Amino acid sequence: MWDLVQGRTETISVTSSKRRELCEEEVVIKEGTHEAIIPKETFNAVQAMIQGRTRTATAPKKHLFTNILYCEECQKGMWFKANQKGYRCGGNIRYGDSFCLNKNAVREKELMHVIMEDLQALFNSLKEESFLNALMNKLNIKKRNVLKELEKVQSEIEKLRNKKLEYVDLYTENVISKEDLVEYRELTDSKIKDLQTKRAELNDKLQECDNEDYAINIGKKLKDVLNLKELTPQVLHSLVEKITCKYDGTVHIQYSFVNPLQET
């Protein structure tokens, strides 16, 4: 038999439809008023199992290279597969060979080893004065190239702005219609916007090159990392922007700093 519970709530006043909950001591319970569909002991046991399951449930584990490792063939993120102890192309797993042929499994431990070896080699080189000079020369070359590109972009922006004024002159001279004027200006504005975005990206690169203590700061960061003897999520995301894997297993690591050991 089941119990009947009454008086869980009461009205606040005769002029209001709102109700308030009563405390446990004020609730009226009449035992054995309803025939049970299942035994009460079974119901209580099931409730205890549900509560126990809720308490012990854990969130899915986020693996080290999640959201940083991608398939180089289809650009989809690579998924960790526990049975292979590594990562597989998410595009191939979800959509099959017709979408992406990359079935190569990248082992997590092997990828960690490659990155740590890269960082160790870079740190060892940064301790040598001759290599530091080579690094600074490389950065200076990059800076000159960025400045040239910036000058080119700025020149193109100015030409487009002058072009807009020419369209106005053509319209006032009745050479083009108002519709043509609007169309030309919208097209020109779109090109200018793209160039301004590119200019902002180039300015970011220029700021990176302008850091006089760039090599020294990288050296200090690498020293701290290598002293840890392991690759943590914090370290990984501070030094690595993206990792891509080809179908033949070749891995390309894009660092968040200028790596003189890589060809650019």
Higher pLDDT, 42 or 157: 157
188: pLDDT strictly greater than 80: yes
pLDDT exceeds cutoff 70 at 89: yes
Domain, as residue range, for 183: 69-255
Does some domain include residue 139? Answer: yes
User: Rounded to two decimals, what is the model's pTM?
Assistant: 0.44
Is residue 75 in some structural domain? Answer: yes
Q: Is 248 a member of any domain?
A: yes
- Residue 111 falls within a domain, yes or no? yes
**Does 12 map to a domain?**
no
Averaged over 167-184, what is the pLDDT?
Answer: 89
**Which residues have C-beta within 8 Å of that of residue 161, sequence separation ≥ 6?**
192
pLDDT for 109-152, tens place per residue? 888 888 888 777 777 766 666 766 776 777 788 888 999 999 99
pLDDT at 95 over 90: yes
Tokens of 162: 């002058």
Residue 176 in any domain: the answer is yes
Q: Judge whether 232 lies within some domain.
A: yes
Whether 53 is covered by a domain: the verdict is no
Give the bridge partners for 30, in sequence order: 4
What local confidence, expressed as pLDDT, does residue 59 receive? 39
DSSP-based three-state secondary structure for 177? coil
Q: Which two tokens stand for residue 204?
A: 């970011």
Q: Provide the domain count of the chain.
A: 1
Return the exposure string of 67-97: e unless at least 16 CB atoms fall within 10 Å of the residue's CB, then b. ebbbbbbbebbbbbeeeeebbbbbbbbeeee
